[in-house]
Chain A
Amino acid sequence: MLNQLTAAEIAAKLRAKEVSAREVTQSFLDRIVKEDPHYNAFLTVNSDQALAQADQAQSKIDSGEHHPLCGIPIALKDNLSTRNIKTTCASRILENYVPPFTATSVQKLDDIGAISIGKTNLDEFAMGTTNENSAFGSVHNPWDTERAPGGSSGGSAVAVSAELAPLSLGSDTGGSIRFPAALCGVVGFKPTYGRVSRYGLVAFASSLDQIGPFAKNVEDAALLANAISGHDPLDSTSLKNSQINTSDLKTGSLRGLRLGIPEELFGPEIDPQVREVFELACDNLAREGAEIKRLSLPSINYGVTTYYIIAPAEASSNLARFDGVRFGPRIEKEGHIESFSATRGELFGPEVKLRIMVGTYALSSGYYDAYYHRAQQVRGLMTAEFERAYQDLDFIISPTSPIVAPKLGGITDQMALKALDLCTIPANMGGFPSISIPCGLAYDLPVGFQLTGPVMSDEKILQASYAIEQAFGRDYRRPPIL
């Protein structure tokens, strides 16, 4: 069955002409039609365009010169702009928005002949922890469809986990790739800020947002990270020489790898069974020669506050462009301010409105210093603390999420929901690369193992992750429902 294969395995079959790009694409399209009603992972399926792309990919493959991802279907989070394909951000305000341009990361995939199979569900404007904030319904976790997949890139995580696509792209502002990857039992990677162009990613919090891959394993994640990374003059925060090189992916070793567990991510905040699975994983790595030590990074305790000031502040500014003039429906009122306010009040969902309110308040006269300015100072403090730790360590490790997938609607306390980003937020604050790898099951649900490294250590983190994945055992676990 093609759906069970990794992208690298499908690529080998395409190369060997055992299967055609059209057959591969058609098989995943069929699976989406049949299986996605259980999950609600896709908002748009690009059937016709995908098959046309598949035929073009086949000509490239037949010519002999092609990228390993040529002919491989990839699902795209629906906040990545796709020319002539609806891009909704799971919001009613963009329900019928059809971008006139394509995001650089997606363009790169188009150029190498990868297939854009569809657009995936997310928390509205990527704001959420469980993917319950979509205007088009929650996404369901394949490990237990009564549970949340995690957010905000829930649809992309489920697309890979439920084998509706071999690969997908998401975006990560405070954990939105790694968190759902952990809860759905797949690999999710957030590269160093600036290694993947944000051009065409609908902005949530510009200083934190980063695009990255979901995959069944580290090799596939590295393939996709390599394909989408690189300098882009269209994104002024894009780094020079930023393409992620994966040629040494499989040459790493765990011997002498220095890993640090911050006690702030190993206390009562973490579910005891999650902690136990994580600890077993650490023992496993120590047996293979990794040096694991405990340390304290006290600024982690302020991460959630810092994030929930900075991200909404940036969002309140970024989302000011949605006023009903250039995009989306417009609710006509007497005066322009009344029209803008009515349109925004009616068409943004409750969580988006809350965050715009928080951000506007934090930036407003009289509160700027106490909130936004101070939060940026704490961000500086936190980054410096991590950078000091990296002088003696290769990576900071922790569980990716404090809990396993929660029941849909199971967490009603807003602050408890926001606190779930505890482990993932620091990487966004410092722009650090960070990855979640499945490391076992607690309560029969997946647990993620997170590594976070210094800026530009993407190659090293992928290499270490590949070795770690081998140590955890190659048997990729499929959700029992499959």
Chain B
Amino acid sequence: MSISLDEVRHVANLARLQLSETELLSFQGQLNSLLGHFEDIQNLDVSGVAPKPHAVAMQNVFARDIAHQPLPREEALRNSADTKAGLFIVPTIIEE
């Protein structure tokens, strides 16, 4: 399987990564090389094998519903590039 430059562009958009044309070309090469290596598991017989999403499976992990002091607002906002009136400022999503 080989991945086209348009597919690389599509994946970069899905990943929210703005890449230069040089980067797109470089990632196309690297992705194709990796995907080539990934072929080795395509022929492996995994029929009937349950997928293993966790290292150590656990079930029903509950936390007690206890009220506690949350992080103060100013600390939560401290690392943001742009805040106003105790809120994160985000780029405009909905126009008036």
Which residues of A are in contact with B by a Cβ distance under 8 Å? 96-98, 100-101, 192-194, 207-208, 210, 233, 236-237, 239, 301-302, 304-306, 308-309, 316, 320, 323-330, 332-333, 335-342, 344-346, 348, 350, 353-354, 356-358, 360-361, 364, 370-371, 373-381, 383-384, 414-415, 428-431, 455
A333 to B75, alpha carbons, bound, how many Å?
26
Question: Which of B3, B79, B91 is the one whose CB lies under 8 Å from A332?
Answer: B91
User: Given A100-B78, A236-B63, A373-B51, is A358 in contact with B34 using a C-beta cutoff of 8 Å?
Assistant: yes
Given contacts A345-B17, A357-B15, 11 further A-B contacts (CB under 8 A): A96-B79, A237-B58, A301-B40, A308-B38, A341-B13, A344-B16, A353-B19, A357-B17, A378-B46, A379-B52, A384-B49
- Check: B67 CB closer than 8 A to any chain A CB: no
User: Given A100-B78, A341-B16, is A377 in contact with B49 using a C-beta cutoff of 8 Å?
Assistant: yes
Q: How far is the CB of A442 from chain B (nearest CB, A)?
A: 27
Chain A residues contacting B33 (CB-CB under 8 Å) are 414-415
Question: Which of B34, B41, B90, B92 is the one whose CB lies under 8 Å from A374?
Answer: B41
Q: How far is the CB of B14 from chain A (nearest CB, A)?
A: 5
Are B12 and A339 neighbours in the complex by a CB distance under 8 Å?
A: no
A194 to B54, alpha carbons, bound, how many Å?
11
Question: Which of B12, B82, B91 is the one whose CB lies under 8 Å from A335?
Answer: B91
Residue from B16, B40, B46 whose CB has the most chain A CB atoms within 10 Å: B16
A376 to B50, alpha carbons, bound, how many Å?
8
Are A357 and B27 neighbours in the complex by a CB distance under 8 Å?
A: yes
Which residues B29-75 have CB closer than 8 A to chain A?
A: 30-31, 33-34, 37-38, 40-42, 44, 46, 49-56, 58, 61, 63-64, 71, 75
Question: Which of B11, B51, B71, B78 is the one whose CB lies under 8 Å from A364?
Answer: B11
Question: Which of A96, A210, A323, A428 is the one whose CB lies under 8 Å from B16?
Answer: A323
Are B46 and A193 neighbours in the complex by a CB distance under 8 Å?
A: no
Are A207 and B16 neighbours in the complex by a CB distance under 8 Å?
A: no
Interface residues of A: mostly helix, strand, loop or mixed?
helix
Chain A residues contacting B82 (CB-CB under 8 Å) are 330
- Check: B23 CB closer than 8 A to any chain A CB: yes
A429 to B54, alpha carbons, bound, how many Å?
8
User: Given A360-B15, A415-B33, is A208 in contact with B55 using a C-beta cutoff of 8 Å?
Assistant: yes
Chain A residues contacting B78 (CB-CB under 8 Å) are 98, 100
Are A207 and B54 neighbours in the complex by a CB distance under 8 Å?
A: yes
Chain B residues contacting A193 (CB-CB under 8 Å) are 55-56
User: Given A101-B71, A325-B88, A354-B30, is A207 in contact with B17 using a C-beta cutoff of 8 Å?
Assistant: no
A300 to B64, alpha carbons, bound, how many Å?
40
Q: How far is the CB of B44 from chain A (nearest CB, A)?
A: 6
- Check: B5 CB closer than 8 A to any chain A CB: no
A377 to B42, alpha carbons, bound, how many Å?
11
- Check: B81 CB closer than 8 A to any chain A CB: yes
User: Given A337-B16, A364-B14, is A429 in contact with B56 using a C-beta cutoff of 8 Å?
Assistant: no
Q: How far is the CB of A307 from chain B (nearest CB, A)?
A: 11
